[in-house]
Structure 1
Amino acid sequence: MTVSSHDVYVDPMDALTDLLRTVHTDGAILRRSVTAPPWSVAHDSAAPLTLYAVLRGRAWVVVPGEEPVLLAPGDTAVVRGPGPHHIADAPDTPPRVRVHDALHCTLTHDGSELPESATPRLGPRTYGPDPDAPVALVTGAHRVAGSVGRRLLDALPPLLTVPAGDSSATLLTLLTEELDRELPGQQTVLDRLLDLLLVRTLRAWFARPQARPPAWYAALGDPVAGAALKAMHGDPAHPWTVASLAARAGVSRAGLARRFTALVGEPPLSYLTHWRMTLATDLLREPGATVASVARQVGYTNAFAFSTAYKRTLGISPSRTATTPGPA
């Protein structure tokens, strides 16, 4: 008996899972800050995703063009970079410290380097004048990789928040406990906990009625369009047709095409092509990648057909993409 690659079991996959896999914390700057009013910290150029979790007290997150948001204990907020924002005890408190990057902070009033005495080190990753100060919060930064990651960022608003009832208190407890330790492998543990907290926060936010998620996310819950999306993301290189996707969803070809287009905003095979080209863009930038090898990985039998589809979809040749640096 001949067994095709598609007959082998493939773990269920969906569009959000694929995108969240591009979010990485790898040796990120992760810290707990304790302070007392008045306080305000400005970020001139933030990481692709910055997460704040309030442990006690209150904090306001202010993003230009957005309504300021008040965070209470247990609340989490995610700011989409790279634009500026600030976090403070009140929306109108002038920034006292300006963060230019992970290793460069200055005092706002004179532009001088922030002295170590301004934020004493109270523990391995805890900073502030007093461990019992009324405000404590955790800050973490995430990088988002490649074109797939850009698709996630495009689905998010400049600022999103999730109240304590929707976030994981257990995760916050574990994270704060780990912040006080210095053990072998500590950074890896913190990275994974921060990644998990971000994923849980994004998933909770996407589920909220006011989130206005992208069409493909809403379609994941539909038995017809969702089945087709999961099939395409589970095995994007498979030679999918409308008929085979319809069979997965248990409907006719016309039924799938109509339902999928209405919910996602484009026909199934058009969505598949765009997703394949998004994957291909990241694959082309990997060391040693060739147009032919990437073509096979995203479901094309020859480089010419792939190159034609790639240029038609993205307006640039795959060989040019391979030599162009991608987003960090």
Structure 2
Amino acid sequence: MQTALAPRSALFALREIVQPKLHGFLVAAVIAAAAQFLSDHYGAPAMLMALLLGIAFHFLAEDGPCKPGIEFTARSVLRFGVALLGVRISAELMVGLGAELIGLVIAGVVLTILFGLAAARLLGRGWRFGVLTGGSVAICGASAAMAISAVLPKNEHSERNLIFTVLSVTVLSTVAMILYPILARTFEFSDEVAGVFLGGTIHDVAQVVGAGFSVSNETGEVATLVKLIRVAMLAPVVLVISILVRRHANGADAGKRPPLLPVFVVGFLFFATLNSFGLIPSQISDAMSDLSRWALLISIAAVGMKTSLKRILDVGGQAIFMIVAETLFIAALVIAGVMLLGH
């Protein structure tokens, strides 16, 4: 009799865990599907549409049956999606670009984050905001912003800063997708140089692909390769931020300390390692990559629902100036680096 009751008890316990979160998750999934529909049929960036549609449904996150699911989706589904990003990375990608250009990409990431910290200090913004905006511009836009936000200590401005950063980098990335290929043609960059410029400066992967292949196939391939190397920097950057937060933050400023090595970073490195050794078949890798994209899209819809439009507008003109300055900084740095390397 006890043996027969055990599976029922397990199912009941599982239902008790899942059911409170189901409503909010399903709402976020529907918003993500609507955003993807708009992207497929009208060319609008899916991340931006999910964010804006999510903001329109902010009232669902204030109270009611959807609130626990929205909280869960914005936190746990996000981390799941970031972990799966690792399937896009392999050691073969690194070798294909060459040591000099890899060094340039890494330098661009590190210096842009430091620039963000310096700009935040000069403009009187908190260090969290400098790390968040600098990291999102330096690495991979909205995905990096969400991953970095997950390990930063929380304060009353955390959600507002995240939603502002995701919104800003998505808009700037879309503008860059249109403008940067024109600049590449104006300066008569070769296909390789144009690929390094586009992949090394545009924030989001989808916009890099769009911009690169609008110039030429070779430019598109180089741009995608460079961009994925920037994405590979996500794990070490998040790890370093986590270590520094644990070491230096204290008291009220520290909030709840993140773990030394977040589980989603371990997942990212695990999948990147498997992919580097060719242990993930291409069909499974493609499926996992799609699943990652959907998880991030659903989670950004939930993040949008958690944040009111009024709080975003409260961020101020200095914040807009900062993120535009960081975008221009990494663009100038990559162009200067390519020219110094003689490409």
Taking structure 2 as the reference length, the TM-score comes to 0.20
Greater fraction strand? 1
Larger radius of gyration: 1
Taking structure 1 as the reference length, the TM-score comes to 0.21
